[in-house]
Amino acid sequence: DKGLMWFRRDLRTDDNAALYHALKVCRQVWCVFVFDTDILDDLLERGLRADRRVEFIRESLVELDERLRELGRGHRVERAGLIVLHGSAAQAIPELAQRLGVQAVFANHDDEPAALARDARVFGDLAHAGILLHSHKDHVIFERREVLTQAGHAFGVFTPYKNAWLKALTPFHLKAYPVERYAATLAAVPAEHAAPVPSLPSLGFESTNLAQLAMPTGASGAQQLFEDFVDRIDRYEDARNFPAVKGPSYLSAHLRFGTISIRRIASVAYQMHLQGMQGASTWLSELVWRDFYHQVLANFPHVVDKAFKPEYDAIRFEHNKHAREQFAAWCEGRTGYPLVDAAMAQINQTGYMHNRLRMVVASFLVKDLGLHWQWGERYFADHLIDFDLAANNGGWQWASSSGCDAQPWFRIFNPVTQSEKFDPAGKFIRKYLPQLAGLPDAVIHAPWKANEIELAAAGLVLGENYPHPIVDHAVARERTLLRYAVVKQPG
């Protein structure tokens, strides 16, 4: 029979569940990716023409196309490769499936509510034409309702989830799908679809600075980052909290777009964890956090527009003109708190932000500026290359204390203490805020504490080349305690 493999957040040939099943059960398999106008038009309408993600996807597709050709050639199939369409995926997939005369479409699960709605529509249209949609788990190790409490409920707290996750894990869950074995069933791309992957301008987008960033694309880029990380994974535990240090893996965008297999990397980390390597155990926990937030989204989809814990929806955040101005200052890195501003410069200039800094700026937005966490969530969604609804929503709900956190709700990060602790020599701050570079380490975290001699030596005039703090942390802290009192009294 004939099949169509529909790539979405799994842009690789290696260990790809749906691709494996398609190749194995069909006699002929075409492969397709759709630049979905149902998603991209919204970006364009909002003027976001320079989007690093669109470029990341495009570059990764060029490589995916090449890999499919190679796989085909290895099995004497000429002109295998990727069909790339630009249009509404919900319409384009059923149309293409019918034109190619396939009996089944294969895809990997995507549990974001909008993707589920799209897939339900595609499923219906395909069924109408007598075509099946087969969908597989690929993006996570455990999904949906695979890891549950003893009572059969989905977990809302991480640590017990992680314990259950580790207990449920068997070699089967980490086993790679041997895609190459069945690649002889790849089909040649029909002549009318043989065009190269569309350029950014033809999609309506502009190029970004992606090529200048240390962010290699495609499966080869992911592999390169992973190999580099494995060599220093034993230092992860100590290094991961310091944004000026090369501590984490920088794999998040690759995990988001599936240019690397979660099973491949989790199995390496798991073996090292079994050998007692602390860095690997901690990193494996981060991969479990990823699964955790995906199952939160799948089981508690209300988190998309409401607090995980409903009582937190009673909190009144600021939303007047002053609040909007403060939000603009946060977005543009003009808060007067150097670590916050350097972090915002990092996301604005690179599309990445270090995990520690995501926590710091999120806490600052919610608990120092008193703004709704959804404002920050949306800004991250527009600017992170690794933006993932499940992880981003989880991170923001965590920061606003409305989500899956076992900690008391009144934890409030102090942006200066965080800076002194995690960027002690101000190395990260100096990189992103060169106007502060001349300040001594002792005051770089709080320039308003610098004396006149220090300011003059650094060439810094507060209010001119760097802002005064837009909020007093001590005052803001008290205000936040009051604001949150509608939920419960601090205990």
Closest CB to ligand FAD among 100 and 347? 347
| Cβ proximity of 373 and 312 under 8 Å | no
Which one of the spans 48-56, 102-110, 141-149, 287-295 is the region binding ligand FAD (CB under 6 A)? 287-295
Q: Is 72 in the site for ligand FAD (CB under 6 A)?
A: no
Q: In angstroms, how far is the first alpha carbon of the chain from the final one? A: 64
Closest CB to ligand FAD among 174 and 362? 362
d(CA 187, CA 174): 29
Q: Is 375 in the site for ligand FAD (CB under 6 A)?
A: no
Closest CB to ligand FAD among 395 and 447? 395
Residue of 22, 399, 433, 443 that binds ligand FAD (CB under 6 A): 399
d(CA 245, CA 306): 35
Select from 330, 314, 404 the least CA-distant residue to 364.
330
Closest CB to ligand FAD among 21 and 358? 358
Phi, psi for 270 (deg, rounded to 5): -65, -40
Which one of the spans 24-32, 74-82, 289-297, 318-326 is the region binding ligand FAD (CB under 6 A)? 289-297
Residue of 60, 108, 135, 392 that binds ligand FAD (CB under 6 A): 392
d(CA 147, CA 217): 32
Residue of 16, 108, 217, 249 that binds ligand FAD (CB under 6 A): 249
Report helix angle 278-299 to 389-399, nearest 10: 100
Q: Is 250 in the site for ligand FAD (CB under 6 A)?
A: yes
- Give the pair of three-digit tokens for residue 269: 């980390």
> By CB under 6 A, how many residues form the interface with ligand FAD?
28
Q: Is 185 in the site for ligand FAD (CB under 6 A)?
A: no
Gyration radius of the chain over CA positions:
24
Q: Is 133 in the site for ligand FAD (CB under 6 A)?
A: no
d(CA 418, CA 411): 13
**CA angle at residue 191 from 188 to 193, to 5 degrees?**
90
**CA angle at residue 389 from 383 to 394, to 5 degrees?**
105
Q: Is 286 in the site for ligand FAD (CB under 6 A)?
A: yes
Among residue numbers 217 through 246, which ones bind ligand FAD (CB under 6 A)? 240
Which residue shows structure tokens 């604005």? 348
Q: Is 355 in the site for ligand FAD (CB under 6 A)?
A: yes
Q: Is 358 in the site for ligand FAD (CB under 6 A)?
A: yes
Q: Is the C-alpha dihedral spanning 85, 87, 88, 92 positive or negative?
A: negative
Q: Is 215 in the site for ligand FAD (CB under 6 A)?
A: no
Name the residue number minimizing CB distance to ligand FAD: 395
- By the criterion CB under 6 A, which residues form the site for ligand FAD? 240, 248-252, 255-256, 286-287, 289-290, 293, 355, 358-359, 362, 380, 384, 386-388, 391-392, 394-396, 399
